[in-house]
Amino acid sequence: MLKQFVAAALAAALVTFVPVSSPAATSAPGTLIQQAGNEAIQSFRKASPEFDTFLGDYSHDGDFSDPTPAGLRQVGAIMTRLAARLDAIDMTHATLHDRNDMKLMRALIIGQRRGFAEVREGKNPAGPPMAVLGLVFTMILHKDEQEQSVWWDHMISRLEKAPAWMAVQKAMITHPGRLQAQIANQQLSMAPMLFSYILTPMASGLPPEKKARFDKASAATVAAFVAWTKWMSDNSATWPLNYAMGARAYNGMLKNEFLLPYNSDQIAAIGQKTLDDAVAQENAIQAEAKAKGVSLSDAVQAAANGGGMTPNTTKEAAFAFFQTQLDTLNNFVNEKQIVTIPPYMGKMVIRETPAFLLPIQPGAAMSAPPLLSKQKDGIYFVPPPKPDMAAKATAGAIFEDFDRDRVLMTSGHEGLPGHFLQLSIAKHNPDPIRRFSFDGVMAEGWAFYEEDLLMRMGLYGNDLDGRYAIAQFERLRGARAIVDTKLATGQWDFEKAVAWFQQNAGVDAVTARGEVSRHALGPGQAFDYAVGKVQIEDLLAKYKAKKGAGFNLKAFHDDLLSHGTVPYSIIASEMLAK
């Protein structure tokens, strides 16, 4: 799932409440909690038009927030007022749902305050240009949802303001980190291609005066990207590796922001068990393959035992192949009665992954419909065909979807019944607090859980590579959880983590370095998969015991997804209380 440009927006979205005309059975405390959120968002959205863009309200796409310390204090004051409003609510007669909504709001405030503190620390040297790049990309994605002349006015206005907006924030980057710069440079070096190959050709039909404004503004923005990239390239070698947050802060984040019942050691233990189980599965499948004279380490042989090789000649052939697997999944989910597919759900629209995203998103990924837009469809980004796909996969590039079964696995994770289905249902949650919450453990845990579920229900039949791919990615997710805890708490340095990951995750050197870099800069995300799946399996066992003979797996899945993208501690308390 694409998160690189929207993580901050999703965090902020927890306070993005839209008033509901007739909240069903809302108690007085629940009403007051929603009112506090509604009041906060009026101030927040006015102060932060970038978040509106990410969330699907394009009314202020020509503007930026105040980038100065005063602007940051303004947003912080909104959180302070929200906390005061929540403190004043009498929760004596609150329902379980109300109390859980209050927990979500408290977690939001804690997380936002941590985010403000990180900005004040001035460690991220790439934040401003990456934000602009993400905004431009998001605006391009949703161009067709707006009146075209207005869209161009907004794009030109934002590009005209972007260099100055970035420059003001550069003075606040007082302790830049080396790793942040190195990773960002991979993306920013591709940024000019977004303009030269996509945005500039789109502008060819503009009226002369508007075209001249666009040319000047886009050239200035690209020049700012190039200059920023050079600044980081020239200086980052002397900057420290300052990504570790420390055990105390990490454990506080787990408990108070993510509402998890685990500390760092327990998460590492979950990761180790996931990894060990996956290695045992890999060994068993490899032994089965060897008995049949098949080497699953060879992509060509694996593909012959995984539904056939993915077309790698033309984009059209690859896209058609991916679409066929999406159709297969839709039919399989319905046939097996796995989960209800709601009538309001859109479709996955396949597009080629832009070049600037490939360094951080080498495999296929889904961008969900924005929360505030009327859009129903998700965008399924698929990399361009690679003639050397099989060779790379044989060498350990795990994200190469080189055969049908791997495309099925990825498409199930990203689409149906994974992220696209789950987030589409969450978007229609009647509780605004739940509708605009985003918990990565819930989202990735569900998508990981269903990978194994689809296999057990027979999606791959007797294919060897489908089952082998499931085990490989389970191993990867276990390794991720371990690395996340060790890096964030400072127990491992970066190079030790890279070496350990390559040896234990079953990936090549390039993949290992890319994975560890991403996890070092985003603590608390890499364990989402393993921890979320464990929590679902624990809840499933308790739910089965409570339902007894009346248990129904489809009903369990429908209930699970009806609570929004919120922590499983919230979901479990409500499902088991019924």
The confidence score (pLDDT) of residue 67 equals: 92
Helical pair 528-547 and 464-488, crossing angle rounded to 10 deg: 110
Q: List pLDDT tens digits, range 371-409.
A: 888 899 999 999 998 888 889 888 888 899 999 999 999
Q: Which domain holds residue 485?
A: 261-575
Which of 208, 225, 249 is a domain's end point? Answer: 249
Considering only CA atoms, which of 229, 214, 208 is closest in space to residue 158? 214
Within this chain, do residues 449 and 337 fall inside the same structural domain, yes or no?
A: yes
Let me know if residue 63 belongs to a domain: yes
Range in 309-323, 354-368, 471-485 with the lowest mean pLDDT: 354-368
Q: List pLDDT tens digits, range 274-318.
A: 999 999 999 999 999 999 999 999 999 999 999 999 998 899 999
Give the pLDDT band of residue 27 (cuts 50, 70, 90): low
* 417 in Cβ contact with 430 (< 8 Å): no
Within this chain, do residues 230 and 319 fall inside the same structural domain, yes or no?
A: no
Strand order through the sheet with 348-352: 348-352, 378-382, 365-367
Q: What's the rounded Cα separation, in Å, for the pair 378 and 428?
A: 15
Share of residues in the chain with pLDDT > 90 (%) = 79
Residues 473, 422, 385: CA angle, nearest 5 degrees: 50
Within this chain, do residues 151 and 235 fall inside the same structural domain, yes or no?
A: yes
Asked if pLDDT for residue 13 goes beyond 70, the answer is: no
pTM of the model: 0.92
Which of 249, 269, 287 is a domain's end point? Answer: 249
Let me know if residue 254 belongs to a domain: no
The confidence score (pLDDT) of residue 12 equals: 34
Phi-psi bin for 112: left (phi > 0), alpha (psi -120 to 50), beta?
alpha
Give the pLDDT band of residue 26 (cuts 50, 70, 90): low
Asked if pLDDT for residue 20 goes beyond 80, the answer is: no
Q: List pLDDT tens digits, range 494-526.
A: 999 999 999 999 999 999 998 999 899 899 999
More confident call, 57 vs 360: 57
The tokens for 34 are 């929603």
Q: List pLDDT tens digits, range 91-120.
A: 999 999 999 999 999 999 999 999 888 888
Within this chain, do residues 454 and 478 fall inside the same structural domain, yes or no?
A: yes
Let me know if residue 71 belongs to a domain: yes
The tokens for 6 are 């929207």
The two counts, helices (H) then strands (E), for the chain are 26, 3
The confidence score (pLDDT) of residue 529 equals: 98
Let me know if residue 116 belongs to a domain: yes
Within this chain, do residues 389 and 534 fall inside the same structural domain, yes or no?
A: yes
What is the number of other CB atoms lying within 10 angstroms of the CB of residue 22? 6
Give the pLDDT band of residue 578 (cuts 50, 70, 90): confident
Asked if pLDDT for residue 485 goes beyond 80, the answer is: yes
Let me know if residue 445 belongs to a domain: yes
Quick one: average pLDDT of 547-572? 97
The total of structural domains in the chain comes to 2
* 187 in Cβ contact with 356 (< 8 Å): yes
Within this chain, do residues 303 and 360 fall inside the same structural domain, yes or no?
A: yes
Let me know if residue 361 belongs to a domain: yes
Let me know if residue 53 belongs to a domain: yes
Asked if pLDDT for residue 5 goes beyond 80, the answer is: no
Q: What pairs with residue 365 in β-bridges?
A: 381
Let me know if residue 256 belongs to a domain: no
Within this chain, do residues 174 and 290 fall inside the same structural domain, yes or no?
A: no
Which of 249, 282, 301 is a domain's end point? Answer: 249
